[in-house]
Structure 1
Amino acid sequence: MDNITIDYSILNKYSLCHRCFGRLYAKSLHTTNYERGRALKMAKAIELELNLANLYNLLNGLNELNENSNDIGEIKETEEDIIKEIEIKKEELKNIYKSGLIEITNMVENIEEIKETEETTNENEKKYSCPYCRDIFDKNHLNDISEKILKFTSNYEFDTFLIGTVLPKKIKELEKEIINDNPMAESIKQEFNRMMGKMIVEKTNKVVEKTNPDIVIMVNPYNKRIELQINSIFIKGRYNKLIRGIPQSHWHCRSCRGKGCEKCDWTGKQYPTSVEEIIAEPFMKAFKGKEEAFHGAGREDIDVRMLGNGRPFVLQIKEPKIRKADLKPLMEEVNKSGKVEIHNLEYGVRKDIIFFKNEAHRKTYLAHVECEDEITEDEIKQLVEQMQNLTINQRTPQRVSHRRADLIRVRNVYAVSLNKIINSKEFELKIYCDGGLYIKELIHGDEGRTIPSVSELLNKKCICKFLDVWDVHDFEHEEEQ
């Protein structure tokens, strides 16, 4: 502590308790804030008492000198300076006493007068002994808050938690003034979080987790107000959509926007169900969540099936009351639907959403192509050869231009194979390509917005009659199957 300067002047303005004064130098000495503050005040009180003793000795010496000196004016001026210094030291000592260091009562003059002044102070000003902490660290006060936390969290299953402190505006402003960029200080938040966290650990045997807690408990220790942030749980896996005609996510009715009308039979939905709803329903019941969010690694059109190894997804259950459940029976319940199947289920984390939603995973499609004119097997084989490692310039398709930016995107087709010839006008292609390539437009060309296209390469008008997603390749090392 040789290089640390302790600023006691703050005690002349605010009667900070031992704990709050010690917190200003929390990083300077390994002990409690209370003990540190008390020790620093005591050291200052001793220093002031020694200073006063020296000043009184000087004053007595001047009095003796005054009796035998002819230069009375100069001595008188020095005497006045010493008296002023004595009054300053006495005021500092009094302020240290008023901040709670009652052990120095015998050092402070006019102690009864000080006590009488304190007793007649306005009740609103006298309500708390310290203007900074306002007694929030009182044992009974802390116990009231901890019991309230236990009551609030009793309906939720959790293993880990984190205490967060909310300070009133006036306290934040006062703290800013008191700390004043002091690098040795810690916020009152840090101390309260630490103490309350320890109490909850002792009462619940739960664990404090700073990175990814199950529950964040926000506390205003000044008015005992508590709010819970129940963090989501994440279930990740892969899904197959076995039938056409259902969207990936819930769609509000276009007419009533979810309110319910005659057109949607008062359901508020554009389609009776969705992949999201089929998967989420049993999980919401099991985990007793407030709401859910479905995050897929891309999406297929309503009329497209998702086959093969399935599409990766993350189901986010928000504000769950239950955090642990056997995933297998939930998977089996979804798979009974006959419309959607899920597999490879496991608990995930929030960052899985970023990986699944933001990564443009390569995909393998099975496209059922129908040509307006007849086509020979040789023409199909030539088409397959032309499409190997082909670069596609694709302007935003007309069918999605109302909800997508009008851009030209460059995508690659890496491999194409003939799956089977159905008849003289129809055949199936297996296409391995970049994510984000619109396959229907790759087939029909979208009036020249996709270049080249199957229609252009064959010089025949073609459409994609049926489309299936066969694989979503969510690992860089994974090759087209």
Structure 2
Amino acid sequence: MDLPTVKEKRDSLIENEELCDHCLGRQFAKLGHGLENYERGLVAREIDDLTEDSFVESNVPEEASEKHRCGCEFCGIVFDELDHWTQLVIDSFDRYELETFLVGIRPPEEVVASEEELWSEYGTEWTEPIKTELSRLIGKRIEDRMDIVVDFERADIMAVVDMRDGKDRVELQVNSVLIYGQYNKYSREIPQTEWHCRKCRGSGCDECDWTGKQYPTSVQEEIQEPFIRESKAIEAKFHGGGREDVDAKCFGKREFVLELIEPLNRDLDLEALKKEVNEGTDKVEIFNVEFTHKDKAADIKQKHADKEYRAQVETEDEVSEEALENISEVVGVIEQDTPERVEHRRADKTRKREVYEVSWEVTGPKSFELTVKAEAGTYIKELIHGDEGRTQPNISDLIGTQAECTQLDVTWVEK
């Protein structure tokens, strides 16, 4: 069955329905450029031989804004109340710093039902949903009254206008402020993020001195406090590009994204905050701080960054220079079963990882310093001690005596 022409659809709508100019024009919203729907409605009434090319500015009647009528059984009085809805949104923004916004609409239920009936009868060719028109019109009014702009991709705040009966309210979806940076960790006593107490799981007990935490602080906590304070966010989330062990230092400038949840303030002086963090702690230092977006957080968490490590190793027996030369045999692909120390939180499986480079320097009769560059996800401590054979090959087997990593540093992280 052929679709009706623009004229046929217009004639049928005018003959059978009592449509206001907004609702008539909305049936042809995808025709023409630079017109409001009420102007399309006026064109549809004025031009007898209506075509797809009729919706141009030159066909809009003079004094159109004064001539058009709004309000019919299909839209009720929603277009009469545009200024009311606009002011509600502006008032809801009062506490927040923002540069971009987006408006969502929950139209009256009877309006949605009437619109769907109209579509079922006359089709959806060239049409626009009423909630889209309302969102656009309210958005334009807000842009005119405030120094902010609509952003469909990364709006600071989305205001959802609830026009349903008895609601008359605006709900705000405040998007996070995301800050990219890199950190070094200079303490061997703190994890990357807050750990709940193993005994009470965060509720507080004698063992954790009623803090609910396994460790007094963390990389996240050392960094986030000034950012939360200045943004007036309700909380923060820390997205790290991998993590080092609690007892390992990191000198490799590991990437992270700090997500500030529901902030009131967005205009943050990042250099001043970076300086405050760095001067306020000797446990952590941050670098290269800048605003970013949610895609960056996902990117660094999914990235498998190669790393270089420096390990202090002690052996059970003295090791000859000849035996130490065997360490080079770990270069290449190794197989590591899930280490015993993490099997309670990691899937038990065999992982293949590549060791790219190794070097060593003797520091004593039963000790040496090991440098390893390896693929992301390589367990370095297990590479050294073997984890009772769960890592193959391993350095303990290669040098002929048990070796233990007594100190580990991350010296380089791939960016």
Q: Same fold (TM over 0.5)?
A: yes
Structure 2 partner of 1:295 = 239
Greater Rg over alpha carbons, structure: 1
Structure 1 partner of 2:219 = 275
Structure 2 partner of 1:49 = none
Show CA shifts across 1:134-192 (max 9, x none).
11111xx2222222212111111111111111234443343233224512100112211
Answer whether contact 1:165 1:193 (CA < 8 A) is retained.
yes
Show CA shifts across 1:337-361 (max 9, x none).
1111111111112111122110100
CA–CA separation in structure 1 for the residues paired with 2:336 and 2:291: 37
Structure 1 partner of 2:302 = 358
What's the secondary structure of 2:220's corresponding residue? helix
CA–CA separation in structure 1 for the residues paired with 2:391 and 2:375: 15
Identity %: 42
Q: Which of residues 394, 399, 403 is equivalent to 1:462?
A: 403
Question: Structure 1's 168 and 422: CA in aligned 2 closer, same or farther, altered over 3 A?
Answer: farther
Question: Structure 1's 409 and 163: CA in aligned 2 closer, same or farther, altered over 3 A?
Answer: same
Q: What amino acid sits opposite 2:23 in the alignment?
A: C
The answer to whether residue 256 in structure 2 is matched with residue 313 in structure 1 is yes
Show CA shifts across 1:373-417 (max 9, x none).
11122322332x3233x1111111122112211221111000111
What's the secondary structure of 2:238's corresponding residue? strand
CA–CA separation in structure 1 for the residues paired with 2:309 and 2:37: 65
Q: What amino acid sits opposite 2:130 in the alignment?
A: I
Question: Structure 1's 165 and 340: CA in aligned 2 closer, same or farther, altered over 3 A?
Answer: same
Structure 2 partner of 1:231 = 175
Question: Normalising by the residue count of structure 2, what TM-score does the alignment of the two structures yield?
Answer: 0.87
CA–CA separation in structure 1 for the residues paired with 2:11 and 2:349: 65
Answer whether contact 1:292 1:316 (CA < 8 A) is retained.
yes
Show CA shifts across 1:237-279 (max 9, x none).
1111101011110111222222222222121111111110110
Matches within 5 A, 1:439-450: 439-450=380-391
Structure 2 partner of 1:260 = 204
CA–CA separation in structure 1 for the residues paired with 2:115 and 2:249: 60
CA–CA separation in structure 2 for the residues paired with 1:401 and 1:192: 54
Q: Which of residues 312, 326, 331 is equivalent to 1:382?
A: 326
Answer whether contact 2:23 2:41 (CA < 8 A) is retained.
yes
The answer to whether residue 150 in structure 2 is matched with residue 208 in structure 1 is yes
The answer to whether residue 41 in structure 2 is matched with residue 37 in structure 1 is yes
Note the aligned Cα RMSD (angstroms).
2.5
CA–CA separation in structure 1 for the residues paired with 2:36 and 2:373: 64
The answer to whether residue 91 in structure 2 is matched with residue 151 in structure 1 is yes
Q: What amino acid sits opposite 1:165 in the alignment?
A: I
CA–CA separation in structure 2 for the residues paired with 1:6 and 1:345: 57
Deviation (angstroms), 1:8: 5.3
Answer whether contact 2:100 2:151 (CA < 8 A) is retained.
yes
Q: Which of residues 116, 127, 130 is equivalent to 1:188?
A: 130
Q: What amino acid sits opposite 1:177 in the alignment?
A: E
CA–CA separation in structure 1 for the residues paired with 2:153 and 2:188: 42
CA–CA separation in structure 2 for the residues paired with 1:255 and 1:209: 46
Q: Quick check: 204-213 or 9-18, which moved more?
A: 9-18
Structure 2 partner of 1:24 = 27
CA–CA separation in structure 2 for the residues paired with 1:252 and 1:289: 22
What's the secondary structure of 2:173's corresponding residue? strand
CA–CA separation in structure 2 for the residues paired with 1:129 and 1:152: 26
Question: Normalising by the residue count of structure 1, what TM-score does the alignment of the two structures yield?
Answer: 0.76
The answer to whether residue 335 in structure 2 is matched with residue 393 in structure 1 is yes
CA–CA separation in structure 2 for the residues paired with 1:348 and 1:32: 35
Structure 2 partner of 1:325 = 268
CA–CA separation in structure 2 for the residues paired with 1:403 and 1:8: 68
CA–CA separation in structure 2 for the residues paired with 1:35 and 1:349: 39
Number of aligned residues: 389
Answer whether contact 2:184 2:250 (CA < 8 A) is retained.
yes
Structure 2 partner of 1:242 = 186
Answer whether contact 1:370 1:464 (CA < 8 A) is retained.
yes
What's the secondary structure of 1:154's corresponding residue? coil
Deviation (angstroms), 1:328: 2.0
**Runs of 5+ in structure 2 lacking a partner?**
49-66
Q: Which has the higher helix share?
A: 1
Q: Quick check: 222-231 or 150-159, which moved more?
A: 222-231
CA–CA separation in structure 2 for the residues paired with 1:137 and 1:299: 54
Q: What amino acid sits opposite 2:36 in the alignment?
A: T
Deviation (angstroms), 1:200: 0.4
What's the secondary structure of 2:206's corresponding residue? coil
Question: Structure 1's 283 and 7: CA in aligned 2 closer, same or farther, altered over 3 A?
Answer: same
Deviation (angstroms), 1:38: 4.1
Q: What amino acid sits opposite 2:365 in the alignment?
A: S
Q: Quick check: 189-198 or 255-264, which moved more?
A: 255-264
Matches within 5 A, 1:172-187: 172-180=112-120, 181-187=123-129
What's the secondary structure of 2:372's corresponding residue? strand
What's the secondary structure of 1:293's corresponding residue? strand
Answer whether contact 2:10 2:44 (CA < 8 A) is retained.
no
Question: Structure 1's 29 and 341: CA in aligned 2 closer, same or farther, altered over 3 A?
Answer: closer
CA–CA separation in structure 2 for the residues paired with 1:169 and 1:401: 53
CA–CA separation in structure 1 for the residues paired with 2:110 and 2:380: 60
Deviation (angstroms), 1:437: 0.7
Structure 2 partner of 1:426 = 367
Structure 2 partner of 1:125 = none
CA–CA separation in structure 2 for the residues paired with 1:172 and 1:259: 47
Answer whether contact 1:14 1:131 (CA < 8 A) is retained.
no
